[in-house]
Amino acid sequence: MTAYDALQEHIAALNDLLNVLNILKWDTRTQMPPGGSQTRGYQLATVSRLAREHFTSETTARLLDAAEKEIAGEDPDSYRVRAVQQTRQYYEIVRRIPADLLARRATLAPISEQVWHEAKQHNDFARFAPYLQQMLDLAREQAEAIGYEEHPFDALVFEYEPSMTAAKLQALFDALKAGLLPLLEQIVAHDRPLEKDLWAREYPLDRQRAFALEMAQRIGYDLERGRLDVAPHPFEISFTRHDVRITTRYDLHYWPMAFFGTLHEAGHALYEQNVDPALTRTALTTDFLGQYAVGGTSYGAHEASSRLWENLIGRSRAFWGAHFGRLREVFPEQLADADADLFYRAVNRVRPSLIRVEADEVTYNLHIMLRVEIEMGLLDGSLRVSDLPEVWRAKMKEYLGVVPETDSQGPLQDVHWSGGSFGSFPGYTVGNVMSAQLLDAARQQVSGLDDALTAGDYAPLLGWLTEHFYRHGRAYSADEILQRCTGRPLHVEPYLAYLRGKFSDLYGLQ
Protein backbone atom coordinates (compact mmCIF):
# COMPACT_ATOMS: atom_id res chain seq x y z
CA MET A 1 0.00 0.00 0.00
CA THR A 2 1.32 3.46 -0.90
CA ALA A 3 1.55 6.20 1.74
CA TYR A 4 -1.20 8.09 -0.06
CA ASP A 5 -3.48 5.04 0.03
CA ALA A 6 -2.79 4.50 3.72
CA LEU A 7 -3.75 8.11 4.48
CA GLN A 8 -6.80 7.76 2.26
CA GLU A 9 -7.96 4.62 4.08
CA HIS A 10 -7.63 6.47 7.38
CA ILE A 11 -9.63 9.44 6.08
CA ALA A 12 -12.25 7.11 4.54
CA ALA A 13 -13.11 5.85 8.03
CA LEU A 14 -13.49 9.47 9.22
CA ASN A 15 -15.72 10.19 6.22
CA ASP A 16 -17.83 7.13 7.10
CA LEU A 17 -18.30 8.46 10.65
CA LEU A 18 -19.30 11.90 9.37
CA ASN A 19 -21.78 10.28 6.98
CA VAL A 20 -23.14 8.37 9.96
CA LEU A 21 -23.60 11.69 11.78
CA ASN A 22 -25.49 12.95 8.72
CA ILE A 23 -27.77 9.90 8.82
CA LEU A 24 -28.46 10.45 12.52
CA LYS A 25 -29.28 14.10 11.86
CA TRP A 26 -31.61 13.23 8.98
CA ASP A 27 -33.41 10.68 11.12
CA THR A 28 -33.65 13.11 14.04
CA ARG A 29 -35.27 15.76 11.86
CA THR A 30 -37.57 13.60 9.75
CA GLN A 31 -38.36 10.27 11.44
CA MET A 32 -37.49 10.08 15.13
CA PRO A 33 -40.37 9.85 17.63
CA PRO A 34 -40.29 12.67 20.21
CA GLY A 35 -39.12 10.43 23.08
CA GLY A 36 -35.91 9.59 21.26
CA SER A 37 -34.22 12.96 21.53
CA GLN A 38 -32.23 12.50 24.74
CA THR A 39 -30.46 9.27 23.87
CA ARG A 40 -30.03 10.48 20.29
CA GLY A 41 -28.00 13.30 21.78
CA TYR A 42 -25.63 10.77 23.37
CA GLN A 43 -25.30 8.87 20.09
CA LEU A 44 -24.44 12.03 18.19
CA ALA A 45 -21.95 13.11 20.85
CA THR A 46 -20.18 9.74 20.93
CA VAL A 47 -19.76 9.50 17.15
CA SER A 48 -18.67 13.14 17.00
CA ARG A 49 -16.07 12.59 19.74
CA LEU A 50 -14.71 9.43 18.08
CA ALA A 51 -14.51 11.23 14.73
CA ARG A 52 -12.49 14.03 16.32
CA GLU A 53 -10.20 11.59 18.14
CA HIS A 54 -9.68 9.67 14.90
CA PHE A 55 -8.75 12.80 12.95
CA THR A 56 -6.62 14.56 15.57
CA SER A 57 -4.67 11.40 16.44
CA GLU A 58 -0.92 10.97 16.01
CA THR A 59 -1.76 8.35 13.40
CA THR A 60 -3.07 11.10 11.13
CA ALA A 61 0.17 13.08 11.58
CA ARG A 62 2.30 10.04 10.77
CA LEU A 63 0.27 9.13 7.68
CA LEU A 64 0.28 12.77 6.55
CA ASP A 65 4.06 13.07 6.84
CA ALA A 66 4.54 10.00 4.68
CA ALA A 67 1.93 11.02 2.10
CA GLU A 68 3.40 14.52 1.81
CA LYS A 69 6.79 13.05 0.97
CA GLU A 70 5.20 10.77 -1.60
CA ILE A 71 3.27 13.46 -3.48
CA ALA A 72 6.08 16.04 -3.48
CA GLY A 73 6.47 17.47 -6.97
CA GLU A 74 3.14 16.28 -8.32
CA ASP A 75 0.68 18.61 -10.10
CA PRO A 76 -0.52 21.04 -7.40
CA ASP A 77 -4.01 21.07 -8.91
CA SER A 78 -4.39 17.29 -8.91
CA TYR A 79 -6.95 15.71 -6.61
CA ARG A 80 -4.20 13.75 -4.85
CA VAL A 81 -2.23 16.85 -3.93
CA ARG A 82 -5.35 18.76 -2.96
CA ALA A 83 -6.54 15.91 -0.74
CA VAL A 84 -3.25 15.77 1.15
CA GLN A 85 -2.97 19.57 1.40
CA GLN A 86 -6.46 19.98 2.81
CA THR A 87 -6.00 17.15 5.25
CA ARG A 88 -2.85 18.88 6.51
CA GLN A 89 -4.44 22.32 6.63
CA TYR A 90 -7.47 21.16 8.62
CA TYR A 91 -5.43 18.82 10.80
CA GLU A 92 -3.49 21.83 12.07
CA ILE A 93 -6.63 23.93 12.54
CA VAL A 94 -8.82 21.32 14.20
CA ARG A 95 -6.06 20.43 16.66
CA ARG A 96 -5.92 24.08 17.74
CA ILE A 97 -9.53 23.98 18.99
CA PRO A 98 -9.51 22.68 22.58
CA ALA A 99 -11.75 19.68 23.27
CA ASP A 100 -13.12 21.40 26.38
CA LEU A 101 -14.30 24.37 24.29
CA LEU A 102 -16.23 21.98 22.06
CA ALA A 103 -17.65 20.24 25.11
CA ARG A 104 -18.76 23.53 26.69
CA ARG A 105 -20.45 24.59 23.46
CA ALA A 106 -22.11 21.19 22.99
CA THR A 107 -23.50 21.42 26.53
CA LEU A 108 -24.68 25.00 26.25
CA ALA A 109 -26.11 24.93 22.71
CA PRO A 110 -29.30 22.91 23.38
CA ILE A 111 -30.07 25.00 26.47
CA SER A 112 -29.45 28.22 24.58
CA GLU A 113 -31.64 27.02 21.70
CA GLN A 114 -34.41 26.17 24.15
CA VAL A 115 -34.20 29.62 25.79
CA TRP A 116 -34.18 31.24 22.35
CA HIS A 117 -37.30 29.29 21.43
CA GLU A 118 -39.10 30.52 24.56
CA ALA A 119 -37.83 34.07 24.12
CA LYS A 120 -39.11 34.12 20.55
CA GLN A 121 -42.51 32.82 21.65
CA HIS A 122 -42.77 35.47 24.38
CA ASN A 123 -41.09 38.29 22.46
CA ASP A 124 -38.58 38.56 25.30
CA PHE A 125 -35.15 39.48 23.94
CA ALA A 126 -33.82 40.12 27.46
CA ARG A 127 -34.37 36.48 28.35
CA PHE A 128 -32.20 35.33 25.44
CA ALA A 129 -29.53 38.05 25.74
CA PRO A 130 -27.31 36.35 28.39
CA TYR A 131 -27.24 33.12 26.35
CA LEU A 132 -26.41 34.98 23.17
CA GLN A 133 -23.58 36.63 25.11
CA GLN A 134 -22.25 33.23 26.20
CA MET A 135 -22.46 31.76 22.70
CA LEU A 136 -20.69 34.85 21.42
CA ASP A 137 -17.94 34.49 24.05
CA LEU A 138 -17.46 30.87 22.96
CA ALA A 139 -17.31 31.94 19.31
CA ARG A 140 -14.65 34.56 20.16
CA GLU A 141 -12.72 31.92 22.08
CA GLN A 142 -12.86 29.66 19.03
CA ALA A 143 -11.73 32.50 16.75
CA GLU A 144 -8.73 33.13 19.02
CA ALA A 145 -7.91 29.40 19.04
CA ILE A 146 -8.05 29.13 15.25
CA GLY A 147 -6.29 32.46 14.72
CA TYR A 148 -6.86 35.30 12.26
CA GLU A 149 -5.05 38.31 10.83
CA GLU A 150 -7.60 41.10 10.69
CA HIS A 151 -10.97 40.30 12.17
CA PRO A 152 -12.23 37.51 14.48
CA PHE A 153 -15.03 36.97 11.96
CA ASP A 154 -12.37 35.78 9.48
CA ALA A 155 -11.59 32.74 11.64
CA LEU A 156 -15.27 31.82 11.92
CA VAL A 157 -16.37 32.40 8.33
CA PHE A 158 -13.49 30.13 7.30
CA GLU A 159 -15.53 27.07 8.35
CA TYR A 160 -18.27 27.94 5.88
CA GLU A 161 -16.67 30.12 3.22
CA PRO A 162 -12.89 29.67 3.16
CA SER A 163 -12.41 32.21 0.35
CA MET A 164 -14.01 34.97 2.43
CA THR A 165 -12.97 37.51 5.06
CA ALA A 166 -14.82 40.32 6.79
CA ALA A 167 -13.13 42.88 4.55
CA LYS A 168 -13.92 41.05 1.32
CA LEU A 169 -17.52 40.58 2.42
CA GLN A 170 -17.94 44.24 3.30
CA ALA A 171 -16.69 45.20 -0.17
CA LEU A 172 -19.07 42.72 -1.77
CA PHE A 173 -21.96 44.04 0.30
CA ASP A 174 -21.18 47.67 -0.58
CA ALA A 175 -21.20 46.83 -4.28
CA LEU A 176 -24.45 44.88 -3.91
CA LYS A 177 -26.20 47.59 -1.93
CA ALA A 178 -25.25 50.16 -4.52
CA GLY A 179 -27.20 48.17 -7.08
CA LEU A 180 -29.98 46.68 -4.95
CA LEU A 181 -31.24 49.65 -2.97
CA PRO A 182 -32.12 51.83 -6.00
CA LEU A 183 -33.67 48.83 -7.78
CA LEU A 184 -35.82 48.01 -4.77
CA GLU A 185 -36.93 51.62 -4.49
CA GLN A 186 -38.08 51.60 -8.11
CA ILE A 187 -39.89 48.27 -7.73
CA VAL A 188 -41.75 49.41 -4.62
CA ALA A 189 -42.84 52.55 -6.46
CA HIS A 190 -44.18 50.49 -9.38
CA ASP A 191 -45.76 47.65 -7.38
CA ARG A 192 -49.47 46.98 -7.79
CA PRO A 193 -51.59 43.96 -6.79
CA LEU A 194 -51.92 41.10 -9.24
CA GLU A 195 -55.32 40.74 -10.92
CA LYS A 196 -55.91 37.39 -9.19
CA ASP A 197 -54.75 35.90 -5.89
CA LEU A 198 -53.59 32.42 -6.86
CA TRP A 199 -52.63 31.57 -3.27
CA ALA A 200 -56.13 31.89 -1.84
CA ARG A 201 -56.97 28.52 -3.42
CA GLU A 202 -56.39 24.99 -2.14
CA TYR A 203 -53.66 22.83 -3.65
CA PRO A 204 -53.99 19.22 -2.36
CA LEU A 205 -50.70 18.17 -0.78
CA ASP A 206 -50.27 14.82 -2.55
CA ARG A 207 -50.44 16.56 -5.91
CA GLN A 208 -48.09 19.31 -4.73
CA ARG A 209 -45.64 16.58 -3.79
CA ALA A 210 -46.00 14.67 -7.07
CA PHE A 211 -45.46 17.77 -9.24
CA ALA A 212 -42.51 19.01 -7.19
CA LEU A 213 -40.84 15.61 -7.40
CA GLU A 214 -41.55 15.41 -11.14
CA MET A 215 -39.79 18.74 -11.70
CA ALA A 216 -36.93 17.80 -9.36
CA GLN A 217 -36.36 14.71 -11.50
CA ARG A 218 -36.77 16.80 -14.62
CA ILE A 219 -33.80 19.00 -13.66
CA GLY A 220 -31.83 15.83 -12.96
CA TYR A 221 -32.39 14.72 -9.36
CA ASP A 222 -31.87 10.94 -9.32
CA LEU A 223 -34.36 9.07 -7.12
CA GLU A 224 -32.33 5.87 -7.37
CA ARG A 225 -29.98 7.79 -5.08
CA GLY A 226 -32.43 10.07 -3.33
CA ARG A 227 -35.80 10.58 -1.66
CA LEU A 228 -38.10 13.41 -0.60
CA ASP A 229 -39.45 13.71 2.95
CA VAL A 230 -41.21 16.29 5.09
CA ALA A 231 -39.31 18.47 7.57
CA PRO A 232 -40.40 21.60 9.45
CA HIS A 233 -37.07 23.25 8.51
CA PRO A 234 -36.29 21.81 5.07
CA PHE A 235 -32.75 20.75 4.18
CA GLU A 236 -30.69 18.59 1.85
CA ILE A 237 -28.23 16.05 3.24
CA SER A 238 -26.01 13.40 1.71
CA PHE A 239 -24.52 10.11 2.88
CA THR A 240 -22.05 10.03 -0.04
CA ARG A 241 -23.14 10.83 -3.62
CA HIS A 242 -25.03 7.53 -3.68
CA ASP A 243 -27.68 8.60 -1.16
CA VAL A 244 -28.65 12.27 -1.27
CA ARG A 245 -31.93 13.16 0.43
CA ILE A 246 -34.09 16.25 0.31
CA THR A 247 -36.99 17.52 2.42
CA THR A 248 -39.71 20.12 2.06
CA ARG A 249 -42.78 21.42 3.89
CA TYR A 250 -46.29 22.01 2.59
CA ASP A 251 -48.95 24.69 2.83
CA LEU A 252 -52.38 23.87 1.44
CA HIS A 253 -52.81 27.38 -0.01
CA TYR A 254 -49.35 28.82 -0.52
CA TRP A 255 -48.18 26.45 -3.26
CA PRO A 256 -44.78 28.15 -3.83
CA MET A 257 -43.47 27.07 -0.42
CA ALA A 258 -43.26 23.33 -1.10
CA PHE A 259 -42.47 23.67 -4.80
CA PHE A 260 -39.59 26.15 -4.65
CA GLY A 261 -38.41 24.55 -1.44
CA THR A 262 -38.15 21.22 -3.25
CA LEU A 263 -36.41 22.79 -6.24
CA HIS A 264 -33.99 24.58 -3.91
CA GLU A 265 -33.05 21.40 -2.06
CA ALA A 266 -32.90 19.47 -5.36
CA GLY A 267 -30.43 22.14 -6.51
CA HIS A 268 -28.27 21.30 -3.49
CA ALA A 269 -28.73 17.60 -4.24
CA LEU A 270 -27.58 17.95 -7.85
CA TYR A 271 -24.24 19.20 -6.54
CA GLU A 272 -23.79 16.21 -4.25
CA GLN A 273 -25.06 13.60 -6.71
CA ASN A 274 -22.64 14.80 -9.39
CA VAL A 275 -19.39 14.88 -7.47
CA ASP A 276 -16.76 12.68 -9.14
CA PRO A 277 -17.23 9.10 -7.83
CA ALA A 278 -13.46 8.94 -7.31
CA LEU A 279 -13.85 11.50 -4.49
CA THR A 280 -16.26 9.31 -2.50
CA ARG A 281 -14.95 8.73 1.06
CA THR A 282 -11.93 10.99 0.49
CA ALA A 283 -10.71 14.24 2.04
CA LEU A 284 -12.32 16.03 -0.90
CA THR A 285 -15.83 15.14 0.29
CA THR A 286 -15.01 15.81 3.94
CA ASP A 287 -15.72 19.01 5.87
CA PHE A 288 -13.12 18.41 8.58
CA LEU A 289 -13.85 21.53 10.60
CA GLY A 290 -17.64 21.30 10.51
CA GLN A 291 -17.59 17.50 11.02
CA TYR A 292 -19.78 17.09 7.99
CA ALA A 293 -19.60 14.70 5.06
CA VAL A 294 -20.28 16.88 2.03
CA GLY A 295 -19.13 17.19 -1.56
CA GLY A 296 -19.77 20.91 -1.93
CA THR A 297 -16.74 23.13 -1.52
CA SER A 298 -18.40 25.87 0.61
CA TYR A 299 -21.78 27.03 1.84
CA GLY A 300 -21.77 29.70 -0.84
CA ALA A 301 -20.92 27.28 -3.63
CA HIS A 302 -23.69 24.98 -2.42
CA GLU A 303 -26.12 27.86 -2.26
CA ALA A 304 -25.05 28.89 -5.78
CA SER A 305 -26.35 25.56 -7.03
CA SER A 306 -29.59 25.65 -5.04
CA ARG A 307 -30.36 29.26 -5.97
CA LEU A 308 -29.45 28.72 -9.58
CA TRP A 309 -32.01 25.92 -9.92
CA GLU A 310 -34.63 27.48 -7.64
CA ASN A 311 -34.49 31.06 -8.90
CA LEU A 312 -32.51 31.56 -12.11
CA ILE A 313 -34.14 28.46 -13.65
CA GLY A 314 -37.25 27.71 -11.54
CA ARG A 315 -38.55 31.29 -11.36
CA SER A 316 -37.73 32.09 -14.99
CA ARG A 317 -40.18 32.91 -17.73
CA ALA A 318 -38.71 30.06 -19.80
CA PHE A 319 -39.42 27.52 -17.04
CA TRP A 320 -43.09 28.37 -16.76
CA GLY A 321 -43.41 28.66 -20.50
CA ALA A 322 -42.26 25.03 -20.65
CA HIS A 323 -44.09 23.63 -17.61
CA PHE A 324 -47.19 25.70 -16.82
CA GLY A 325 -49.25 23.44 -19.06
CA ARG A 326 -48.18 20.39 -17.07
CA LEU A 327 -48.91 22.19 -13.80
CA ARG A 328 -52.39 23.01 -15.01
CA GLU A 329 -52.95 19.32 -15.79
CA VAL A 330 -52.16 18.63 -12.14
CA PHE A 331 -54.32 21.48 -10.78
CA PRO A 332 -57.00 22.00 -13.46
CA GLU A 333 -59.59 23.76 -11.27
CA GLN A 334 -57.14 25.83 -9.27
CA LEU A 335 -55.46 27.23 -12.38
CA ALA A 336 -58.38 27.32 -14.83
CA ASP A 337 -58.31 31.14 -14.95
CA ALA A 338 -54.50 31.53 -14.95
CA ASP A 339 -51.91 31.54 -17.71
CA ALA A 340 -48.12 31.20 -17.79
CA ASP A 341 -47.60 34.96 -17.69
CA LEU A 342 -49.79 35.54 -14.64
CA PHE A 343 -48.20 32.56 -12.93
CA TYR A 344 -44.71 33.84 -13.68
CA ARG A 345 -45.58 37.21 -12.15
CA ALA A 346 -47.21 35.54 -9.14
CA VAL A 347 -44.07 33.59 -8.24
CA ASN A 348 -41.87 36.67 -8.63
CA ARG A 349 -43.68 39.27 -6.55
CA VAL A 350 -41.22 41.56 -4.72
CA ARG A 351 -42.17 43.00 -1.35
CA PRO A 352 -39.97 44.23 1.50
CA SER A 353 -40.89 42.10 4.49
CA LEU A 354 -39.72 41.40 8.01
CA ILE A 355 -38.86 37.70 7.73
CA ARG A 356 -35.75 36.45 5.92
CA VAL A 357 -37.05 33.02 4.94
CA GLU A 358 -40.08 34.58 3.24
CA ALA A 359 -38.06 37.14 1.28
CA ASP A 360 -38.00 37.41 -2.51
CA GLU A 361 -34.96 37.52 -4.81
CA VAL A 362 -34.47 41.28 -4.57
CA THR A 363 -34.77 41.75 -0.81
CA TYR A 364 -33.21 38.47 0.38
CA ASN A 365 -29.62 39.64 0.36
CA LEU A 366 -30.48 42.74 2.35
CA HIS A 367 -31.65 40.49 5.18
CA ILE A 368 -28.34 38.65 4.99
CA MET A 369 -26.15 41.78 4.97
CA LEU A 370 -27.95 43.10 8.02
CA ARG A 371 -27.19 39.88 9.91
CA VAL A 372 -23.57 39.58 8.80
CA GLU A 373 -22.81 43.21 9.64
CA ILE A 374 -24.31 42.69 13.08
CA GLU A 375 -22.28 39.48 13.59
CA MET A 376 -19.09 41.33 12.69
CA GLY A 377 -19.92 44.12 15.10
CA LEU A 378 -20.74 41.74 17.95
CA LEU A 379 -17.50 39.84 17.36
CA ASP A 380 -15.19 42.86 17.18
CA GLY A 381 -16.90 44.53 20.12
CA SER A 382 -18.21 47.55 18.23
CA LEU A 383 -21.73 46.30 19.04
CA ARG A 384 -23.03 44.99 22.35
CA VAL A 385 -25.71 42.32 22.66
CA SER A 386 -27.96 44.87 24.32
CA ASP A 387 -27.66 47.10 21.22
CA LEU A 388 -29.08 44.39 18.97
CA PRO A 389 -32.81 45.27 18.90
CA GLU A 390 -32.12 48.91 18.17
CA VAL A 391 -29.47 48.24 15.52
CA TRP A 392 -31.78 45.71 13.89
CA ARG A 393 -34.58 48.23 13.58
CA ALA A 394 -32.24 50.88 12.21
CA LYS A 395 -30.80 48.60 9.55
CA MET A 396 -34.23 47.24 8.55
CA LYS A 397 -35.37 50.82 8.07
CA GLU A 398 -32.28 51.68 6.05
CA TYR A 399 -32.19 48.58 3.82
CA LEU A 400 -35.81 47.52 3.50
CA GLY A 401 -37.89 50.46 4.62
CA VAL A 402 -39.85 48.30 7.08
CA VAL A 403 -39.36 48.00 10.84
CA PRO A 404 -40.44 45.05 13.05
CA GLU A 405 -42.80 45.88 15.88
CA THR A 406 -41.50 42.99 17.95
CA ASP A 407 -38.08 41.42 18.56
CA SER A 408 -39.63 38.05 17.67
CA GLN A 409 -39.96 39.40 14.15
CA GLY A 410 -36.54 41.00 14.51
CA PRO A 411 -33.34 39.65 16.02
CA LEU A 412 -35.11 36.61 17.51
CA GLN A 413 -36.38 35.26 14.18
CA ASP A 414 -33.48 32.94 13.24
CA VAL A 415 -32.17 29.97 15.21
CA HIS A 416 -28.51 30.29 14.04
CA TRP A 417 -27.00 32.41 16.81
CA SER A 418 -28.67 30.51 19.62
CA GLY A 419 -26.72 27.39 18.62
CA GLY A 420 -23.45 29.32 18.39
CA SER A 421 -23.34 29.40 14.61
CA PHE A 422 -21.55 32.59 13.55
CA GLY A 423 -20.19 32.95 10.03
CA SER A 424 -22.71 30.86 8.14
CA PHE A 425 -24.99 33.67 6.87
CA PRO A 426 -22.63 35.04 4.18
CA GLY A 427 -23.00 31.81 2.20
CA TYR A 428 -26.52 32.74 1.15
CA THR A 429 -25.43 35.95 -0.51
CA VAL A 430 -22.18 34.56 -1.88
CA GLY A 431 -24.33 31.83 -3.40
CA ASN A 432 -26.75 34.23 -5.05
CA VAL A 433 -23.94 36.27 -6.57
CA MET A 434 -22.08 33.16 -7.69
CA SER A 435 -25.18 31.59 -9.27
CA ALA A 436 -25.52 34.39 -11.82
CA GLN A 437 -21.81 34.39 -12.60
CA LEU A 438 -21.98 30.64 -13.28
CA LEU A 439 -25.08 30.80 -15.46
CA ASP A 440 -23.53 33.62 -17.44
CA ALA A 441 -20.47 31.49 -18.11
CA ALA A 442 -22.61 28.49 -19.08
CA ARG A 443 -24.52 30.69 -21.55
CA GLN A 444 -21.25 31.76 -23.16
CA GLN A 445 -19.80 28.27 -23.31
CA VAL A 446 -22.79 26.06 -24.19
CA SER A 447 -24.25 26.83 -27.58
CA GLY A 448 -28.02 26.73 -27.72
CA LEU A 449 -28.35 26.73 -23.93
CA ASP A 450 -31.30 29.12 -23.88
CA ASP A 451 -33.12 27.14 -26.56
CA ALA A 452 -32.72 24.03 -24.42
CA LEU A 453 -33.98 25.85 -21.30
CA THR A 454 -36.96 27.19 -23.24
CA ALA A 455 -37.75 23.62 -24.30
CA GLY A 456 -37.50 22.43 -20.68
CA ASP A 457 -34.31 20.47 -21.40
CA TYR A 458 -31.89 20.85 -18.49
CA ALA A 459 -29.34 18.23 -19.51
CA PRO A 460 -26.97 20.70 -21.25
CA LEU A 461 -26.88 22.99 -18.19
CA LEU A 462 -26.49 20.10 -15.75
CA GLY A 463 -23.75 18.69 -17.96
CA TRP A 464 -21.82 21.97 -17.95
CA LEU A 465 -22.22 22.42 -14.20
CA THR A 466 -21.09 18.86 -13.56
CA GLU A 467 -18.05 19.16 -15.80
CA HIS A 468 -16.84 22.55 -14.53
CA PHE A 469 -18.22 22.79 -11.01
CA TYR A 470 -19.92 19.85 -9.30
CA ARG A 471 -17.52 17.05 -10.06
CA HIS A 472 -14.55 18.66 -8.34
CA GLY A 473 -16.15 18.35 -4.92
CA ARG A 474 -14.02 20.23 -2.40
CA ALA A 475 -10.83 20.08 -4.51
CA TYR A 476 -11.02 23.77 -5.44
CA SER A 477 -12.36 26.71 -3.46
CA ALA A 478 -15.40 28.68 -4.62
CA ASP A 479 -13.05 31.40 -5.88
CA GLU A 480 -10.90 28.88 -7.75
CA ILE A 481 -13.99 27.31 -9.32
CA LEU A 482 -15.14 30.72 -10.52
CA GLN A 483 -11.68 31.60 -11.81
CA ARG A 484 -11.45 28.29 -13.68
CA CYS A 485 -14.84 28.39 -15.33
CA THR A 486 -15.66 32.10 -15.66
CA GLY A 487 -12.16 33.58 -15.81
CA ARG A 488 -12.82 35.89 -12.84
CA PRO A 489 -13.22 35.62 -9.08
CA LEU A 490 -16.57 36.39 -7.46
CA HIS A 491 -18.03 39.71 -8.69
CA VAL A 492 -21.49 41.24 -8.50
CA GLU A 493 -22.08 42.46 -12.06
CA PRO A 494 -23.78 39.35 -13.53
CA TYR A 495 -26.07 39.05 -10.51
CA LEU A 496 -27.08 42.72 -10.51
CA ALA A 497 -27.58 42.64 -14.28
CA TYR A 498 -29.78 39.55 -13.90
CA LEU A 499 -31.96 41.19 -11.23
CA ARG A 500 -32.16 44.49 -13.10
CA GLY A 501 -33.13 42.77 -16.33
CA LYS A 502 -35.70 40.44 -14.83
CA PHE A 503 -37.44 42.92 -12.56
CA SER A 504 -37.34 45.84 -14.97
CA ASP A 505 -39.28 43.61 -17.33
CA LEU A 506 -41.65 42.40 -14.61
CA TYR A 507 -42.32 45.84 -13.14
CA GLY A 508 -42.11 47.90 -16.33
CA LEU A 509 -39.12 49.94 -15.10
CA GLN A 510 -37.31 52.13 -17.66
The residue (of 53 and 174) whose beta carbon lies closer to its own copies is 53
The residue (of 281 and 323) whose beta carbon lies closer to its own copies is 281
Residues 384-413 that bind its own copies (CB under 8 A): none
Contact call for residue 206 and its own copies (CB under 8 A): no
What is the closest distance, in whole angstroms, from the C-beta atom of residue 273 to its own copies in the complex?
A: 9
What is the closest distance, in whole angstroms, from the C-beta atom of residue 284 to its own copies in the complex?
A: 15
Figure out which of the listed residues 7, 11, 20, 499 binds its own copies, where binding follows CB under 8 A. 20
The residue (of 225 and 393) whose beta carbon lies closer to its own copies is 225
| Pairing of the two strands 244-248 and 226-230 | parallel
How many positions of this chain bind its own copies (CB under 8 A)? 39
Q: Which residue stretch of 177-185, 217-225, 250-258, 481-489 sits at the interface with its own copies (rule: CB under 8 A)?
A: 217-225
Contact call for residue 286 and its own copies (CB under 8 A): no
Residues 245-264 that bind its own copies (CB under 8 A): 245
Q: What element of type H or E holds 286?
A: strand 286-287
Residue 495: name the closest of 335, 348, 311, 221 by CA: 311
Contact call for residue 214 and its own copies (CB under 8 A): no
Contact call for residue 233 and its own copies (CB under 8 A): no
What is the closest distance, in whole angstroms, from the C-beta atom of residue 466 to its own copies in the complex?
A: 17
Task: Answer for the pair 163, 479: CB distance below 8 angstroms, yes or no.
Answer: yes
How many whole angstroms from its chain centre is CA 461? 20
Figure out which of the listed residues 240, 274, 363, 466 binds its own copies, where binding follows CB under 8 A. 240
Figure out which of the listed residues 177, 225, 471, 491 binds its own copies, where binding follows CB under 8 A. 225
What is the closest distance, in whole angstroms, from the C-beta atom of residue 225 to its own copies in the complex?
A: 4
What is the closest distance, in whole angstroms, from the C-beta atom of residue 118 to its own copies in the complex?
A: 22
Query: 3-class SS at 280?
Result: coil
Q: Which residue stretch of 67-75, 197-205, 220-228, 263-271 sits at the interface with its own copies (rule: CB under 8 A)?
A: 220-228
Residues 432-461 that bind its own copies (CB under 8 A): none
Which runs of E-coded beta strand occur in 109-260? Answer: 226-230, 236-238, 244-248
Q: Which residue stretch of 25-33, 67-75, 404-412, 474-482 sits at the interface with its own copies (rule: CB under 8 A)?
A: 25-33
Contacts 24+ apart (CB under 8 A), 400-403: 400/184, 400/352, 400/353, 400/363, 400/366, 400/367, 401/188, 401/352, 402/352, 402/353, 402/354
What is the closest distance, in whole angstroms, from the C-beta atom of residue 7 to its own copies in the complex?
A: 16
Task: Answer for the pair 492, 175: CB distance below 8 angstroms, yes or no.
Answer: yes
In the β-sheet with 244-248, what is the strand arrangement from edge to edge?
226-230, 244-248, 236-238
Catalytic residue among 159, 161, 265, 310: 265
The residue (of 25 and 443) whose beta carbon lies closer to its own copies is 25
What is the closest distance, in whole angstroms, from the C-beta atom of residue 293 to its own copies in the complex?
A: 10
Q: Which residue stretch of 23-31, 81-89, 310-318, 415-423 sits at the interface with its own copies (rule: CB under 8 A)?
A: 23-31
What is the closest distance, in whole angstroms, from the C-beta atom of residue 241 to its own copies in the complex?
A: 8
In the shown chain, the binding pattern of residues 26 to 45 toward its own copies, with x for contact by CB under 8 A and - for none, equals -x---xxxxxxxxxx-xx-x
The residue (of 11 and 335) whose beta carbon lies closer to its own copies is 11
265 given a catalytic annotation: yes
Residue 123: name the closest of 409, 475, 344 by CA: 409
What is the closest distance, in whole angstroms, from the C-beta atom of residue 37 to its own copies in the complex?
A: 8
The residue (of 282 and 435) whose beta carbon lies closer to its own copies is 282
In the shown chain, the binding pattern of residues 40 to 79 toward its own copies, with x for contact by CB under 8 A and - for none, equals x-xx-xxx-xx-----------------------------
Distance CA 282, CA 64 (A): 14
Query: 3-class SS at 47?
Result: helix
Distance CA 77, CA 221 (A): 29
Contact call for residue 23 and its own copies (CB under 8 A): yes
Phi/psi of residue 509, nearest 5 degrees: -80, 160
Contacts 24+ apart (CB under 8 A), 386-391: 386/129, 388/125, 388/129, 388/132, 389/125
Is residue 133 classed exposed, middle or buried when 0-12, 13-18 and 19+ CB atoms within 10 A define those classes? middle
Q: How many CB atoms lie within 10 A of CB 508?
A: 9
Residues in CB range of 26: below 8 A, 6 or more apart? 237, 239, 245
Q: Which residue stretch of 116-124, 165-173, 238-246, 395-403 sits at the interface with its own copies (rule: CB under 8 A)?
A: 238-246
Distance CA 323, CA 151 (A): 48
Query: 3-class SS at 160?
Result: coil
Task: Answer for the pair 410, 354: CB distance below 8 angstroms, yes or no.
Answer: yes
Interface residues toward its own copies, by CB under 8 A: 12-13, 16-17, 19-20, 23-24, 27, 31-40, 42-43, 45-47, 49-50, 222-227, 239-240, 242-243, 245, 280-281
Active site residues: 265
